[in-house]
Amino acid sequence: MLARGPGFSNGHPPRPRRGRPRGLRDSYRGLLQQQEPPSARPCTEFDKAYFHAYSHIGVHEEMIKDHVRTGTYKAAIMQYQNLIEGKVVLDVGCGTGILAIFCAFAGARRVYAVDASEIALQANEIVKDNNLSDKVIVMLGRVEDVNIEENVDVIISEWMGYMLLYETMLPSIIFARDKWLKPGGLILPSHATLYMAPVTHTARYSESIDFWRDVYGIKMSAMLPLAKQSAFEEPCIETITGENILTWPLVVMEVDCYTIIVQELESVTAKYRFSSMLNAPLHGFAFWFDVEFNGPAISPSNNHLQFPSGSLSSDQHSQSSSQSKKRVKSDETIVLSTAPEDAPTHWQQTLLYLYEPIELKQDQIIEGSVTLTQSKENARFLNIHLEYSSGGRSFIKESVMR
């Protein structure tokens, strides 16, 4: 069955080249208690272009072939089969419907598979080909616009973009959670953590910049400023290894999908203070993320979602206690990691390169702050403001992930 929701726009965007404040927490608790319906953000021309890009088969082929991504989701669904079997599931941004079908295989009574891209047409055919039309309902439209006439027990989605927040699909998860998720329901994945660390990457700098110093015996140093701007002005999506990392990472932000509200995504700031473990040039900073698949958090007193501290970090994560520490996980916790030391994924890592490397000595301090904000031009874009100081010199780098 293929249902078209009102306000339909053409689908999902390509990924580019590849202590919450008390007032916010109280306002969200009030929203839960009053059960006010969430309001949908208007669908913009940028949204339509974003959705249209996800109708291309290559985007879905890349994601499905990412065995770390797809295999981890499948393992998480099987781990929580007891919470899925016989229950109602909502798949937000279903794409080809692979996660919805995994949930049907796990025994879900009904799965609403929602996507605003024309890929939903193929997803519906895939559902038919697997004899699951009685269980999986494919809905063509934004999750903010479709009509689901029952509450759901589980929300599943692969919402993460480069640098975690690029594309800002998370507001759609929040909308779906507040409108349809039953108290004590399951969200997969449930938590996310964004990390950053200073990196050295001489080979990358050499290949993009030093090349111009001597081209077939011709001095082309006049090209260097343009080369640096071309190579390093915008964030780069690349794969690095643990050998490129100069220090333990910093937690930039944490997300608890059970409690986060959209206002918290508008701007995130983290201060940092790193101490280099090596004598090496500092070429820039790398960002990556983990997501965890944890069960629902229930408050015994009112059966509402809990508000654990630290669901989204900001300046408080600037202290050294935040470095090198991840959320305490049980042995059973399933984690999808995009860290440099783990198996590569299609997300790779996001690199912010400096125009001029800084020669570091062992134990030399690098400090500053990073601020991530939604672009006013397009909320799916990410503005990055990076301040960094070392060896008595201070710099600012501003970039846009678009």
* Cis ω for the linkage preceding 249 (within 30 of 0): no
For residue 332, what are its two tokens? 């059973």
Task: State mean pLDDT over 120-136.
Answer: 98
Q: Which amino acid is at 289?
A: F
The confidence score (pLDDT) of residue 39 equals 78
Beta-carbon contacts of residue 287 (< 8 Å; ≥ 6 apart): 163, 164, 194, 195, 196, 252, 349, 350, 351, 352
Q: Which of 29-38, 267-276, 305-314, 390-399 has the lowest average pLDDT?
A: 305-314
The confidence score (pLDDT) of residue 387 equals 98
Q: Which of 4-8, 130-134, 169-173 has the lowest average pLDDT?
A: 4-8
DSSP 391: T
Contact 312, 24 (CB under 8 A): no
Task: State mean pLDDT over 26-47.
Answer: 63
Q: What is the pLDDT of residues 297-333, one digit of tens each?
A: 654 333 333 333 333 333 433 333 344 344 445 568 9
Q: Is the pLDDT of residue 245 over 90?
A: yes
Instruction: Quote the radius of gyration of the chain (alpha carbons, Å).
Output: 22
The confidence score (pLDDT) of residue 315 equals 41
Q: What is the pLDDT of residues 344-375, one digit of tens each?
A: 999 999 999 999 999 999 999 999 999 999 99
The confidence score (pLDDT) of residue 391 equals 94
The confidence score (pLDDT) of residue 297 equals 64
Q: Is the pLDDT of residue 25 over 70?
A: no
Angle at 232 between CA 264 and CA 346, to 5 degrees: 60
Q: Which amino acid is at 108?
A: A
Annotated active-site residue 158? The verdict is yes
Q: What is the pLDDT of residues 145-155, one digit of tens each?
A: 999 999 999 99
Task: State mean pLDDT over 206-215.
Answer: 94
- Catalytic residue (choose from 167, 254, 264, 292): 167
Between residues 271 and 308, the one the model is more confident about: 271
Whole-number average pLDDT of the chain: 86
Q: Give 129's pLDDT tier (boundaries 50, 70, 90).
A: very high
The confidence score (pLDDT) of residue 330 equals 59
CA dist., res. 374 & res. 165, Å (int): 9
Q: Nearest Cα to 163, choosing from 123, 193, 187?
A: 193
Contact 305, 258 (CB under 8 A): yes
Q: Is the pLDDT of residue 161 over 70?
A: yes
- Catalytic residue (choose from 158, 254, 264, 292): 158
The confidence score (pLDDT) of residue 341 equals 97
Q: What is the pLDDT of residues 219-240, one digit of tens each?
A: 999 999 999 999 999 999 999 9
Task: State mean pLDDT over 44-68.
Answer: 95
Q: Show the domains of the chain with their CATH numbers.
A: 40-158 (3.40.50.150), 191-295+333-401 (2.70.160.11)
